[in-house]
Amino acid sequence: MKLVLYNLFPDRLNLYGDRGNVIVLQKRCEWRGIQLEVVDIKSPDCLDFSRVDLIFIGGGSDREQGLVTKELLKIKHEFKACIDDGVGCLAICGGYQLLGNYYVTSDGTPIMGLDVCDFYSEAQKNRMVGNVVIYTPDSGQLVGFENHSGRTFHRYEPLGKVIKGYGNNGEDGWEGLCYKNLIGSYLHGPLLPKNPLLADRIIGAALDRKYGKKDLLPLDDRLEFEAHSIAEEICLRTSV
């Protein structure tokens, strides 16, 4: 079995080691005998949505986010059709924000979004920074790190309920967004190394779409869960 992952603009969108998410997906596929071809996309001209199974979009500064969005606006309709067709996507922080209608920077500058989903984000002066623990119904508790001035507001299914931290906006108690096989989240760290169940959820959904229901072989995740437990303990015993 083979899956193809497009890593969008990794030279611009790679805050806080976000590329580690791609490495995790690649290794967890490899350990199961699944080939995951990772293609670094640095121009929309290189995008062939007919062959992609997974898309990763990392976080970036407001400047980098604006530059990338201008490039992706050239293929916004194809991108949305791809997501609507069930192609898997993990979008982190700035990558999450650019999938909405618009993002307003801290100086009031609007950045057009890709309109993949109907939501918006607005930056405020006070940043939301710290370790995060959230509860998800499908992947248990997730741990990560957030550092964002943007507040995101939407009516989609959230990724999870905030136990500790700020989440989407520091107000409604939710973190992230789920739409079909798209997952948006503010959790850096990177997210997937300490949350193997979420990584497998993403892989499993891509396999289901391409090959039908496939059971993933279990892996020895003792180190991953130990890292998860330590991060969770540290987060829960510190104040926001």
Binding site feature residues for substrate:
127
What gap in Å lies between CA 143 and CA 135, rounded to an integer?
9
Closest by Cα among 100, 16, 89, 31 to 57: 89
**117 catalytically annotated:** no
CA 230 to chain centre: 22
CA 47 to chain centre: 19
Task: Catalogue the long-range contacts made by 98-104 (C-beta closer than 8 Å, 24 or more residues apart).
Answer: 98/57, 98/65, 98/68, 98/69, 98/72, 99/57, 99/182, 99/184, 100/152, 100/154, 103/65, 103/150
Which of 148, 188, 228, 235 is catalytic? The answer is 188
DSSP track, 74-136:
GGHHHHHHHHHTT-EEEEETHHHHTTSSEEE-TTS-EEE---SSS-EEEEEEEEEEEEEEEEE
What gap in Å lies between CA 101 and CA 118, rounded to an integer?
6
Query: 97 with 113: CB under 8 angstroms?
Result: yes
Which of 93, 117, 148, 154 is catalytic? The answer is 93
Q: Binding site membership: which residues?
A: 127
What gap in Å lies between CA 98 and CA 117, rounded to an integer?
10
Q: Give the phi and the psi of residue 133 in degrees, each rounded to 5.
A: -130, 130
Of the chain, the end-to-end C-alpha distance in Å amounts to 44
**154 catalytically annotated:** no
Active-site residue set: 93, 188
